Chains A and B, each alone.
Chain A
Amino acid sequence: MSSNESSRQHKPQSAEARLAALLLGDLPAADALKLQAEVAQDAQLQKARGSVESLLGVMRADPQADVSQGALKALFEKSRDLMAEPEVAQQADLIRISELIRVYLPRVAAVAVVVFTFGMLVTKLPEGPVPTVGTVVDDDGKQFIRAGDLVEARMGSPRRVTFNTGEVLLDGGTALRVSGGTGFTTPSISLERGRVAIDARSRDFSVSVAGRSVHVGKGGLATIELDVPYAHIDRAGAVVEIRRTTVKEVAELAKRTWGVDLYAGGLPQMIQEQRVSFYGVGLDSADFVQSFVAAASRFGVRLGNDGQSLEYRQASGSFDMESEQVLRIATMRGDARVQDAAGEVALSELSQNMVEFRTGTEAAPRNLEPERLGQMLVWAGGLGNESIATHLPGVNTSDEQLPQGSVIYTDKLVLHGEEDRVFVLNGPEFNFPLPGGRMGRLVGLMSSGAEFEVEGETAREFVPFRRLSEGK
């Protein structure tokens, strides 16, 4: 059925429905432009558009729920019973594995009970019946990870999770879910956002991420970055984490959090929907607004003279609409493979050993430029793992950390102290004071730290950001 035929069958759509079509990108270009022009001149339509945008924002922020372990277990038990029934079992033309299972199940179960009991004896469980599958050691001491746990690392505070089969290093702003695993077997790990380095030191390691499975072979080392919209403000510590959030949403956030009425309605629709990322600690409302406007300035956004409205001045150069989600996977050592519904590929088949996926594109993933691969190496090195640091040619890792209150934009770093100092990425001047009285030039920014070219030296230096707990 053509769209014309279908539209003849349906009632004329409401303004909100037409705006939904516009915001979902479902309108032909000519219709979209016409509707945008109508909206620009009609306050009611602008209000309706705000409602639709808010609604879509809330719906997209709704996290994916997962079925409970109890329901899964029950399903698997029912499936075993069902497979033992004749009408299902007769589907098997060859080996009747289910029958073997029935025959040997009691013996296997008996052995499993013995092994489990032994495991309980040698593994000290701090509390409760759920077995420990991993540990995290950080400033708060040793913490035990159990199946079902969500492990999060706040911005500026990388963490390291140790499993019996290897290590997972979490960069700041990362969350991963651990499920399954008994303490003796590898748990299932699902990366929900952020960046991790997988060090599969003693056994193969698999991580599910954004509908794909990344398999790291024994002895391999791989990094995965899932860059998705995320926003968090801890008002107690004024910790701000804004990731890939639209200009319009950040303006609304400023109002909700601090009551700062930043009017973004005057910006062109395309600019309102551009995505910005910035982070900071110890920010007040003025700092937040300053950081936000700085991050959005590359799209031509600036603060109006009234200090409340966002204005647009066409930026020099062009920029593309940011994808809602980006997934990057790279190997640094050994083998890693990526599997999705289309099939499987070894990263070693790609130049740069790296692959990138963007939301909404069915096209084949593409290789990344060497510079991006270098960034992946550097941030992983900043996590302080010696084995990873050896993969950083020409980059030292520093014990010194950047000051409390550092604010990171997508392309520059601001330090809040006695004065605001802006260090432009790849700027011409060596104007950043480094330990030992040296001066550095900012050449790379990661959420866990920054990379500097040191004046008069050939080696670069990676400086991690200060941990939040040290500033309190």
Chain B
Amino acid sequence: MNSNIWLLTFADAISIATTLILASLGAILTERSGVINLGVEGMLLMGAVTGFLVADSSGSLWLALFVAVLVGVALASVHAALTVGLRANQIVSGLAMVIFATGLSQFIGKPIEGDPLPVLIRPIDFGALSDTPFFGPVVFGHDLFTYLTWVLVAAASFYMHRTRPGLLLRATGDAPATVDAQGGSVARIRWVHTVVGGALMTFAGAWYMFARSAAWNQSATTNGIGWIALALVVFASWRPIRAIGGAVLFGFSLQVPFTLQAEQIRILPPTILAMFPYLITLAVLVALSTPRARRLLGAPKMLGQPFVRDER
């Protein structure tokens, strides 16, 4: 069997991982503040479709990405307003967001269905470096945003674990009453991180559109990647750095069916192979819920709980 193809699959997995990393980083920031946003899948779709539409009419990739981020801010603000402001059930609000955003993306995306992409995100040309064996495709075969994403993860990790606002963020997820007693604003911290998280999610969707998709194809464009990103948050135990490894693993499982098909290796029918990313995600979730793993994980203690001062 050709070993080169598996190397390329691995390189592809690292590339796909960019979406997963960005989306789960958004979810990590949101959940660390104590808010769970299940709307990831919908946010990805909205980022993808608005990015496409803006690029289609303006021809500018940067403007498209910028608008996608704004859309994320707007959608996440709705979630924050409902859950932080109005103390609505976070689970139901997130699901409502998935349904609303999925419907909206299909509604506004109807005219561009199947159209070719107006702009593309291409890998950076490193010249001779890209031709080196192994390191060529794996390290030097990606686009600007993939590298920026790695930097962003490092920055987010530093922010969360080494700065005072990061400490406040973690405290808000674990013990909002303490933050409140110290004079911090639980609502503001939750609001800000939900919105920033949402912006990362739609950006992830727009990146996926321009870097990894062939065309806008309704909800099949992302095909459940948002949900995998949510599972990835658990896998990463709410720590940004760990999301990278998980994202590459999940990215690999997403990519393998395509590789097998391209190589015409028929172990299993393609429809059965397509189940694997989800089954692997589920298996990982199960492994992580054993009591031993749970102790090591450290989910935000007040995740999903609205904070109400007077009731304490």
Co-complex (A, B): no
